[in-house]
Amino acid sequence: MLKMHNLSKIYRTDEVETIALNNVNIEINSGEFVAIMGPSGCGKSTLLNIIGMLDNPSEGDYLFFDENVARYSEAKLANIRKRHIGFIFQSFNLIDELTVAENIELALLYHDIAASERRDRVAAVMDKVGIAHRAKHMPSQLSGGQQQRVAVARAVVGNQSMILADEPTGNLDSAHGQEVMEMLQGLNEEGTTIVMVTHSPAHADYARRTINLFDGQVVTENLRAA
């Protein structure tokens, strides 16, 4: 599905130059469940952002379905992104001023989808993650676990083939964390590719493959026996 070749990301600010990713070579196939681990600041989020086309790499190639998107413009990336990729963040990133349903609908808003179909799909996905009874609530009225379910719903409502989750359980207690992991596992079993950053070895165990990053470089890759 995607392939990275000698990919680097360098942040330049006025004074310092940070090499966030250094010569990364990764290949991820459709239907995989990959966990990315590593100490804080090693470049996990950066990698995920580039995979998710929220950012361009500084050097190297990024092939997404055999299309090299490394130098694509923001608008072009946005167009690919919204068709294929869903996001889940550690801090949920729901819009405080919108209801649960509206937050989920947001992922369809920028596609050409009729309002009635949007409503149906939002309702279906809310059922699936078990928050249908909270549709009219505001995010601030929900627990962390519930908010993350909304985020998961938002990530999949557009039938995205890949979900990128950056520490999705980082702000949750273990019970809620477990719930979210099971939800992700379920999605993976239905065929969704999942790439997840996590600090928890237990949660990494849900993945078939673990990539360990250190200082912007891939140090090891472990494959869990099926």
Ligand X SMILES: Nc1ncnc2c1ncn2[C@@H]1O[C@H](COP(=O)(O)OP(=O)(O)O)[C@@H](O)[C@H]1O
Strand, coil or helix: 42 = coil
Stretch of residues binding Mg ion (CB under 5 A), selected from 44-52, 73-81, 151-159, 212-220: 44-52
Stretch of residues binding another protein (CB under 8 A), selected from 28-36, 106-114, 141-149, 183-191: 106-114
Stretch of residues binding another protein (CB under 8 A), selected from 28-36, 79-87, 124-132, 182-190: 79-87
Compute the least distance from the CB of residue 95 to another protein, in Å: 5
One residue of 4, 32, 33, 43 binding ligand X per CB under 6 A: 43
**Using CB under 6 A, which residues numbered 46 to 85 contact ligand X?**
46
One residue of 4, 42, 70, 165 binding ligand X per CB under 6 A: 42
From residue 203, alpha-carbon distances to 18, 161, 199, 200 in Å are: 29, 21, 8, 5
Are 99 and 135 a contacting pair, CB within 8 Å? yes
Rg (CA), the chain: 17
Report d(CA 11, CA 22) in Å as an integer. 12
Packing angle between helix 115-129 and helix 100-109, nearest 10 degrees?
130
Contacting residues toward ligand X, per CB under 6 A: 11, 13, 18, 20, 40-46
